[in-house]
Amino acid sequence: MNERFRQVSYAVADRSLRKVLSTPSLFLPPLIMPVIFFAAFAGGLSTLGRAPGFDFPSGYTSFQFVFVLMQAAVFTGIFSGFGIARDFETGFGRRLMLAAPDRRAIVAGYVLGAIARALISAVVVFAAGLIAGMRLDGSALQIVLLFVLAMTFAGIGSLWAAGIAMRFRTIQAAPLMQVPIFLALFIAPVFVPLELLTGWISAVAQYNPVTAFLEAGRGLISGRPDGTLVAYAISLVMLAVLTVWSITGMRAAERAGA
């Protein structure tokens, strides 16, 4: 990575972060929604923690915290795609591509900005979890690894959304950014462990990559880090594939003269 690449990517990330922090409609939804989900799931569904076969040692609040953390991270990444689409609608995206000698740095900057925002969301959700009595049975290193895993999920969401935004270059493509991720999240073991799922959703959840993130995260918070290496391996593959997806999206924007 040369100096010019770093300068462009950091400048794009800084602008993206500043723009979001100064625009409540972009900043507040991915910050408030996870807290609402956490209150609804960990509070209203807490009786599921006493279901036969539910043996998660850290309790239902911690069980749900991991899902909400991952949800907050990935949807913060998705919301970065909204900003990209707006940049192209206003013509800023075109000017940015003309100014950047290596346009891959633009994608890198958007992703870095999304991860920075996801970290803010993660801290807010973590504070809400502590207030709600969440147990942390994992070590300090395991909790750090949990947060790093969540940030990789934010990067995955951002790369996916960037590829969509740069291909369509309009905020009207927002459902294409959100719906596939939303479906993937909710055909995973959200409310109960994978072992307690039945029917078709059990079969689908076993092959859903999101399941690996949730299982690894719950293992880390409970001090039983089973599946962590698998989750990180899957995240690296997804990051590699979606990096190609986002860069080819940039190429599509270039060909369209956006």
Please list the pLDDT of the chain residue by residue as tens digits (258 residues): 588 899 999 999 999 888 877 877 777 777 788 888 888 877 666 666 677 778 888 988 999 999 999 999 999 999 999 989 999 999 999 899 988 888 899 999 999 999 999 999 999 999 999 988 899 999 999 999 999 999 999 999 999 999 999 999 999 999 999 999 999 999 999 988 898 898 999 999 999 999 999 999 999 999 999 899 999 999 999 999 999 999 999 999 988 865
**Whose CA is closest to 217, among 159, 116, 137?**
137
The structural domain count of the chain equals: 1
What is the domain range of residue 22?
A: 3-256
Both tokens of 227, joined, read: 């599946």
Position 34 scores a pLDDT of: 83
Both tokens of 213, joined, read: 């993130």
Taking the model in full, what pTM does it have?
Answer: 0.93
77: left (phi over 0), alpha (psi -120 to 50) or beta: alpha
Measure the CA–CA gap between 244 and 143, rounded to whole angstroms. 30
**Whose CA is closest to 213, among 107, 51, 111, 72?**
72
Both tokens of 39, joined, read: 């209150």
Query: Could you tell me where the beta strands, DSSP code E, fall in 186-233?
Result: none
Question: Whole-angstrom distance between the N-terminal and C-terminal Cα of the chain?
Answer: 26
